[in-house]
Structures are given as C-alpha cells and as structure tokens.
Structure 1
Amino acid sequence: MRMTGAEILINCLLEQGVDTIFGFPGGAVLNIYDALYKYQDKIRHILTSHEQGAAHAADGYARASGKVGVCLATSGPGATNLVTGIATAYMDSIPMVAITGNVASNLLGKDSFQEVDITGITMPITKHNFVVRNVNDLADIVRKAFKIAKEGRPGPVLIDIPKDITAQVTDYEPKEKEEPAKCTKTIRDEDVEKALELINESKKPIIYAGGGVCSSEASEELLELAEKLNSPVTLSLMGMGAFPATHDLYTGMVGMHGTKTSNLAVTQCDLLIAIGARFSDRVISRLDRFAPNAKILHIDIDEAEVNKNVIAEHHIIGDAKEVLKRLNKGIVTKDRSQWLRFIKDLKQKYPLQYSGNGLSPQYILNKIYELTNGNAIIATEVGQHQIWTAQYYKFTKPRLFISSGGLGTMGFGLGASIGASIARPSKKVFNIAGDGSFRMNLNELATAVEYNVPVIVVIMNNHALGMVRQWQNMFYDGRYSQTTLDRCTDFVKLAEAFGAVGFNLTEESQVESTLKEAMSLGRPVVINCEIDRDLKVWPMVPPGAALEEVIVGESDIGN
C-alpha cells in the first residue's frame, strides 16, 4: 500500500507494539504529527512541557515496563533538548528510541534554520543512530532501531528524519515484529564449568549484582543461586530490586554509600561473583584495595565491561538469566555457616541508622514502604534523597526503583515517574525529590495534571543542594559556595497553580495521614517535607579511601 513517510513511521511503531509516544511538536515534524492525529485511536501521544521531560518519560516508561520507550522531537533545539535524556538512558542501559525531525534533505549541512547535526552530537551516547536519506529505507531503519535498542546490552537509538522524507510517498509492506534473540551463543560450556569450579571451591563468596539482572529478568535465578550457594548478596544502585531487600542474605548496597556490612564483606570475601554489574568508580572506590583477597568472576552481556575497571579471574559473556540457569544446575551446596555468622555479626554491629532533629527523610521513606506494602514504583531525582531511598525503602522486585545511576541526572525523576505511571497505571508511583533537583524540571507538573497522571512528588526540602553541601562540609571546611537555596518558592502554592494538590509537612506526626490522603486522591500531588539542612547521607566512603574505611556517622570523622 502507498503511504507517506510519516504514515510509514507510525505504522512501523505500531508493528513494534508501541502504544505511547512522549514528545513535543515543531516545524520539522509537522508531517509526523499530522499522521499521529490520524492514528490517535491507536497510539497515544503525551505532550510534555519540554523535550527533556519527554526523553525522561520515555526512559521511565521503559524501566517500569521492560518495553522500548519512545520520544519525539523537532529539529535543532528540540533535538538537542533530548540529549541529556538520551545520555541518561545510555549510561543505565535503557532501551529507548528517540525520533527527531530535521530540515529537508537539500538543506542539510547549510546551517539552515533549526538545523543541527544531531547524529553527530549523539554518536557517543547511543548504541546506534540513523539519518534517513531515502523514504524507501525508513521502515527497515525503524525496525532495526527497535531491535538494536533491545538486543544484547540495551540502550538508546536515535532516528533522524529530514522533513521531505516524511512527506514522500512510497510502498509500505507490514511485517511481524522481530524479537531480538537472547545473547546465548557466547556462553561456552567450558566457561560455565570453570565458573562452577571457582564457586564450589569458595569458602567466603559474595554476589554483587547490578542492573543487568533486572534487564534480563533474572531475579528468580539470582535468588536461587544465592540460596544454593549460601552466599550474601550486595547490590549496586542500579541493581535495587534484583534481590529482595527483606532476605536474610541481603547485606545492602555496596560502594561509596553502601552499608559497612557490604563493604567489609567485599573486602573479606574470597570470591566476588559480579552479575550484570560494571564495577563503577562509585562501587570500587580505591582500586588497589578493592576485594584484595578475592578472585573475581564477572558475568556480563557486554564483553567491553570485562577487565575494564577491575581484572577478573574468569568471566562469562552472555544473558544473565541464561548464565544463571546453567550455573544453578551445577552448584554444590556447602556449609558456609562460619562465613554467614560473620556477615550476621556485621549486620548487627553496623545497622543502617539515622538521627537528626525534626522531620526525618528516612522515617518518610519507611512510612511509604509500609503504606504501599513495598509495591509502589519509586522514582527519584539525584542527590541525598536518592541514596536515602536506595538505603531505606526495601525493594523486593525489579522495575520498582527508577533512578539515574550512571549519569546522575538532576531533574530526571518527575518525567520518569510520569512515564512509569503511564506504563503501569495500576501501581502507585512516587517521585522522591530534593528541592534543587525538583526545580530543574518542575514544569512537567503541567504534563501530569493535563493527563491526570497520579504521581506523588515527595520533596525532601532542606533548602540546599544537599549532597554537594555535604561534600563542602566534610572536605571544603564548610565553604558553602552556591549550595544554599534560601528561595521564596512555596511548593504548595506552586502545585496548586499547576492544578495539582499540595501538602506541607513539618512534623513526623503528619506523615502517615498526609500520605494516606495523597494516595487516595488519584491526582498529581506534591508533598513538601521540611527537613534539616545539615542532614547527611551515611555511610560514606571518603574520596581516595578504601571500602573498609567507610564512615558510618559524624563520630567516625577524624578517627
């Protein structure tokens, strides 16, 4: 059948199972938006307040659902406004397809109005990107983009379409969606056997799991491995939910803000089994003293990650779910009671604990967990509140924690929470924010209100850029350069101005009733929580220190 390029694009999106697009129109994508108008009964478009919000919403949609998120922007500034969102998805291996319009083909490279080389700009932050130069190639490019976004290590793909391509007419033949194959060809029997030797010989193993376990839907296999092995489990920030935080074998997060139990366990173990994790600098801290007594077994889908930051004794390349299935068949259950007693003693000696004056963010997070039975989707912005969330909300399943881990994108959470709520409308969705991060993209409240997306924004308002202030306090002799936010913004009135509901919290006695009311409304809500400006995130490994030198509170400083 004969169709315009714009109509072919929409039909290819429908082939891929796309039901929602997040975007913002402009001149270069007018033909695409005209096609969306014709197909509005089949594909939903969410008009965000800003293209960055569209990218973050597509990202949150993907993280919550496991599907490919889709965002759409016009040329020039519309396209560049997607860049931070694309980079965020790239760093965290999130499948996303970003579609941008561009000036007509004959105007490319001539500094035309609203022209930018978006494929050149995004080359380092996409798995692949395309410029469509022939309308006859458009359908296959769209299909390839979705396959690339999902196969292997997931990530974002960009398709740039000049305006004339969207207007040209050609033949379109529908095709069945091609599901990307699981990455199993690289899993060799001899590698599995060698890994089993290391595992079965170990006396003090620890499992370090990351976001790859969530991406591959391998949490059940991870649980089976841990229980068969009698091994403690620690998670990266991106791994939250890969292993239930309520399980006796869970030791908490590892790294700069990991528990002392996890950090000491990694330091003392004789085998570190890393699964779907990339050994980021926030995890390893001081490299020459990271897991000094351990052999490292690295299981990852991306061979480029192996031996990049730490040297592994052995590795297996492939899909984590399939690797763990094969390993679990060969695990020999051994008595590791002495190692587990050591871990239990550490957990009792160094529990996560908090203190401070007035309203406590940890109390609020524990109350959200209690009232939602741990089944809510929790998105975050970036800062102290993000780490408190990872520490104190007990994630028991994957795809419930949505946060910018690798890039650390302030302003991520609101758009991402909107996307997550649209992906999974039966779930309660919270965005845990700091006042600094929230200000960056608070305009997306208008999006939440327009589409009645019932996200609950909880602002841990310390009137400061809290994490940066903490560093200034600890390492810059209290010189608080540009981190104090004594602004006159009334977040309750702001919420009401957007058409949302606003609450103000100053005491712990208000928390439960306010949360219950917010959850009952079925509308966007902003809860401003006035917390102490000088609250800190503990534990913390100082820069240049080893994991075992983790500080658990003010009393440790200087010791």
Structure 2
Amino acid sequence: MADGMHNLAGECLNTVAKRINGAEYIAGVLKEEGVKQIIGFPASELFDAAAALDIPPLIARTQRVAVNIAEGYARASAGGELAVVTVQYGPGAESAFAGIAQAFNDRVPLLFLPTGYPRGSEAVAPNFESRRNFSHITKWCEAVTRIEDLPKLMHAAISRVRNGRPAPVLLELPVDLLAESTIASPSDHLRPARSIPQADDHELARLVDALLGAASPVIWAGQGVLSAGASASLVELAELLEIPVMTTPNGKSGFPEDHALALGTAGRARPATVDHFLAKADLVLALGSSLTRSYYILPIPDDKVILQVTLDEADIGKDYAITQGVVGDVGSVIRQMIAFIRRNRLPLARRAQPASEIAAVRAAFMEKWMPLLTSDSNPISPYRVVWELMQVLDPKTSIVTHDAGNPRDQFCPFFVANTPGSYIGWGKTTQLGSGLGFAMGAKLARPEATVVNLMGESAFGMVGIDFETAIRCNLPVLTVVLRNNVLGGYAKSMPIATEKYGANRMSGNYAPIAEALGGFGVTVTEPALLGPALLQALDEVKAGRAALVEVVTHEEPRLAGLW
C-alpha cells in the first residue's frame, strides 16, 4: 500500500513539472524581468511566446530601425528598463548589424536575441552565424547549444547588460532549440542586480588633491553621467568647487545648459564658451567619458592634465595620456569626492569665479550667430529652424534628437538642454537615419514627453518608411526634415563628380509621404510660417498622431567653432 502511494506521488510530481519550450522559457524570464515590450522585425518565435504573456511585440519596418528603437528606449530610460530586440536568423541578423554597431560605438546597454539556424547547419556556408559575426560589436556574444544551458545563459546575458561598461549583449537562439521542451521554470530566474563600483580612499585623495591644486580646471562630462543618474551630484560638485562644465555630444543634458557654470557641448561644432575655457584650462576632469577621439568630438589639447573616471578599465589611457584614471560608477565617485572634501574640510582653491566670464563669452557668441538664427532668408536658413524649435519646445518636458551631419552640427551648439535625458546626442559613429528610431524609442520609454527628431533628407531617405511604424505603434513623434536637395557639405569632398555629374544632388517631397502613411505632413517654404507650422504639428502629436514638418532650406556651410 505504502509503495503504491509513493509511486502515485512520484507520478503526480512529474505531472506538476510543466514542460515548456525554449521560446516560452525566454519569454517567461523577460516577464520576470519586467520587460514591457519586445522589439524586432520580421519574425521570431519570441514574438508569440511573449505575446502569450502579455508582452506586446513592436514590429518595425527594418531590422536596423528596430535596433535603433531599442537604443532610444535604453537611453531615454537611462538603462533603468531592459531593452530587448529580436530578429530572424539569416538576413534578419545580417540587416541588424548596422544598428548593433551604432549601439556598441555609443555605449548603449541592450539585449539582442537573434534567432539562429538549426543546430548543425549554422556553420554551413553561406549561413550567417551571429555568434561569430557580431563578436567585435558586442561585449558578450554567445549561442545556446543545449536546452539545459538556457537558464544559465539567459541569466549571464542579463547580468552583462546590467553590469560593467554599457554595450549590446548578444545571445543567439537556434530555432530548433526554441521549439525544444524543457522543465526549467522562469519563476526560478534570479534577477541580476546592478553593481556600483567605487573609488578607494587613496584614489579619492589623489583625485581631489589634483583638482583643488589646479588653477583653471574644467569638467568634461560624458554619457556616463546620464547613465548613472548623476546630474544632480555633478551640479553639486561643480558649484562646490566653482568649476565650469562642458559635455560630450553623448553627454549633452547631463549638466543643465542654462546653469551659470555650463559651457555647452564639446562637439565638432560647438559654442565659443567651450573653446575659450578649454584653451585656458590646465586640468580636465573627465567624468563618465570614454575620452574617445572622434572626428565629431572636440579633441583635448595635449598640454592638459587629464583625470578620468569611467566604468570601463579599457578606457583608461586609450586615446589620451591620463595622469590618473579611476574605474568606478561616476555617480558614486562624484558623491565620494564631495563627501571626501567636506569630511576633511579641505580648503577650496582661491581662483576667479568663472560665471561672469562664461556669461560674457556666451553673450558675444550668441550675438554673432543671431543674424543666422533669426534670418528671414528664402530658402529658409537651417539655423532659423533651430531657433524656431527652441521657441516652441519646453525643454523640461521634451526629448530632442537629431540626425548625423549638418542637422547635428547646426542644432547641438545652440539648443539648451536643461533637463537630464532631454537630449539624445551621438558622436562616435554617425549612421544617417538613426535619429528616427531613437525618437520612437524615447517616446516608448517616456510617453508623456514631446519627442522631436531633426533630420536631413538624406537621412529620411534611409529610414523614411519607418515613419509608418510611429503611426502604427502609437508613437506620436515630431520629425522635422530639412530639404535643400543636396547632400549637405559633400560637394567639397567630391568636387569633380559634383560639377560634372551633380553627384551631390537629390530630390523629393517628403510631407506627402507622411500623409500617405497616415500621419500629419506639412511643407514650409516661408520663414514666417515656420513657427505656426511647428505649433500645428505639435498639436497633432499631442493628439496622438505622428507628424512631419518639411522645411525647404538652403545649404549652409557655416558651423559654430569651425567658421
């Protein structure tokens, strides 16, 4: 009798152990992690498995834009939400490569889950194996080959998204494994916590001693300040020591640009305050920056003492000779520095307070550029577009981004980003068209915000049909397209081809495309009508409809800091 009952109990236990397939297990883990949507295109076994658990799919029109949306989502949520993107094996993974490269170069943490060819055929030419081909544009790149390893590898992947240097993490999922059954339960998944490394007392003492001993220090604030949520602490440190602050293009909005100590953004094009104070600085304190040399980022002169705080040890001394490098979470290290100074009652340096000098340099800079910003020229000056956007947007409730090339260089020096996360800048790799996906991702992360993307017609040509994604997925963003019928600035790099064959020419009308896709579209040819058109488009966005304002402009070669 007892043996019979024991066998019956064992059979019951086996029945209770519910078997699910690999796709269902992954979807369950994403549910445990609080994932709110899964982004991708065009097909993945994860879409149905996630939908069964009330995690909706967000299907873009292209794989690259799907990844851009995930990047915008990750950046607008400052890494607080897990951004997940999946694509089909083969051509789907191949087409996602550009988006992952963009996210890798601009240090964005996201979880990339491409499906893979059935096991045994992944290495057969010409099959594309993600695990091999993405290894140099992800910080961790693995494939699941046994269903028994799936729980361990999912935990490892999510741990790497949350910890260390921000970057895409890839886990390739063979389609036959996704269909294979397992008794693993998603409820057993342990959510990895984020580690926040700090500096030790010796490092702090050296850092603070060098900073207090400098005659004209400046702070160089990178994207790490935004990722760490350290803007308030950075303001406190700058005010405590009366140090001017400039940001990198990726770090723009990490320090409020309407603050008396704000210098603006040290991009390729930049305000005169950046050049003025960087030239006179004897020490540069780089906080949350990789200090990557780039054509799109102002270089630091060789005669400066550089101190660097970064989450990635590989950044230390990578492109610049560093006097001292500290590996740590920038928010923690800034707070440690403030506490160290106050705890030890260190005498603050007696140096000239820079606020009045900053204001004077900024006023002279703006006076020089106001004729372009308020120009009544026809075709319209792109700087007039920048100025009108500054008048109609509330920077405290908006998120703005731009595309590569002239839109970035004309917009970044002038737009005042005074709220953390109100600006998505990018300055290492510069793929045309990325701004549209960034804007949609930002709207996904912060639906209450007014999200605006400024782009040229070349960029729109790359991704314009994905404007329909914003409509279909209820992501009402405002896209402003600058149309001058040329590849802006490219004639000088191909003068013969331009003169003989018009190689820099392009044509098109873009507002009708927005209308045809179901959104709001308007073309502006008169400067006086630009402000009203933007307000009308913003009303459409507030009503829940994606909008596009096409502005006919002239080509403008003059750039701040380069003219």
TM-score (norm 2): 0.88
**How many angstroms apart in 2 are the aligned matches of 1:392 and 1:37?**
43
Matched, 1:367 2:383: no
User: Partner of 1:528: helix, strand, or coil?
Assistant: strand
* 1:23/1:72 contact within 8 Å kept: yes
1:326 aligned partner: 336
Aligned partner letter, 1:171: I
C-alpha RMSD of matched pairs (Å) = 2.4
1:502 paired residue number? 521
After alignment, is 319-328 or 415-424 more displaced?
415-424
Equivalent residue, structure 2, for 1:175: 188
Contact 2:382–2:556 at 8 Å: present in 1 too? no
Classify the secondary structure of the residue corresponding to 1:184.
Answer: coil
- 2:22 is matched by which residue type in structure 1? G
Aligned to 1:466: 488
Q: Which residue of structure 1 aligns with residue 26 of structure 2?
A: 9
Alpha-carbon shift at residue 8 of structure 1 (Å): 0.3
State the partner residue of 1:548: none
Aligned to 1:96: 110
Alignment length (residue pairs)? 528
Report if the CA contact (8 A) 2:266-2:297 is conserved. Answer: no
| Secondary structure, counterpart of 1:94 in structure 2 | coil
Q: Deviations over 1:5-47 (max 9, x none)?
A: 0100101111221111111234xx3x333323423xx201011
Give the Cα separation in 1 of the matches to 2:441 and 2:363: 39
Q: Is the 8 A contact 1:276 1:300 kept in 2?
A: yes
Residues 470, 400 of structure 1: CA spacing in aligned structure 2 closer, same or farther, 3 A cutoff?
Answer: farther
SS at match of 1:241: coil
Query: CA offsets, 1:362-390, max 9 Å, x none?
Result: 33333333323212111222111112222
2:146 paired residue number:
134
Distance 1:110 1:291, change over 3 A: closer
Where does 1:388-407 land on structure 2 (aligned, <5 Å)?
388-407=410-429
The residue that corresponds to 2:12 in the other structure is none
- Using the TM superposition, give the Cα deviation of residue 537 of structure 1 relative to its aligned residue in structure 2, in angstroms: 2.2
Of 369, 373, 376, which aligns to 1:353?
A: 369
Q: 1:5 & 1:125 partners in 2: Cα distance? A: 26
Q: Residues 286, 455 of structure 1: CA spacing in aligned structure 2 closer, same or farther, 3 A cutoff?
A: closer
Match of 2:5 in 1: none
Number of the residue aligned with 1:380: 402
Letter in 2 for 1:421: K
Question: What is the letter of the counterpart of residue 514 of structure 2?
Answer: A
Of the three residues 498, 510, 513, the one matched with 2:532 is 513
Change (3 A) 1:494 1:110: same
Letter in 2 for 1:337: A
Displacement after TM superposition at 1:483 (Å) = 5.4
- Residues 103-114 of structure 1: pairs in structure 2 closer than 5 A: 103-111=117-125
Q: Cα distance, 1:267 vs. partner?
A: 2.0
In 1: Cα distance, 2:267 partner to 2:301 partner: 10
Per-residue deviation, 1:520: 1.3
> Taking structure 1 as reference, are residues 164 and 328 closer, same or farther at Cα in structure 2, changes over 3 Å only?
same
Structure 1 gap segments, 5+ residues each: 541-552, 554-559
Contact 2:482 2:551 in 1 (8 A): yes
Q: Is residue 484 from structure 1 mapped to residue 504 from structure 2 by the alignment?
A: yes
Equivalent positions of 1:415-430 (< 5 A) are: 415-430=437-452
Name the structure 1 match of 2:512.
493
Distance 1:443 1:277, change over 3 A: same
Shifted more, 76-85 versus 445-454: the winner is 445-454
Q: Secondary structure at the match of 1:181?
A: coil
Q: Which residue of 2 aligns with 1:550?
A: none
Report what 2:4 is aligned to: none
Aligned-partner SS, 2:114 = strand
Q: Do 1:255 and 1:282's aligned partners in 2 also have CA atoms closer than 8 Å? A: no
Cα distance, 1:84 vs. partner?
0.8
Cα distance in 1 between the residues matched to 2:242 and 2:425 = 30
Residue 120 of structure 2 aligns to a residue in which SS? helix
Question: Are the counterparts in 1 of residues 42 and 63 from structure 2 also a CA contact under 8 Å?
Answer: no
Gap change, CA 1:512 and 1:345, over 3 Å in 2: closer
Percent of aligned positions that are identical:
26
Give the drift of 1:479: 6.1
Shift of 1:225: 0.9
> Secondary structure of the equivalent of 2:430?
coil
Cα drift, residue 88 of structure 1: 0.8
After TM superposition, give the deviation of residue 531 of structure 1 in Å.
0.9
Match of 2:174 in 1: 162
For structure 2, the 5+ residue unaligned runs are 1-17, 342-346
1:471 is displaced (CA, Å) by 5.9
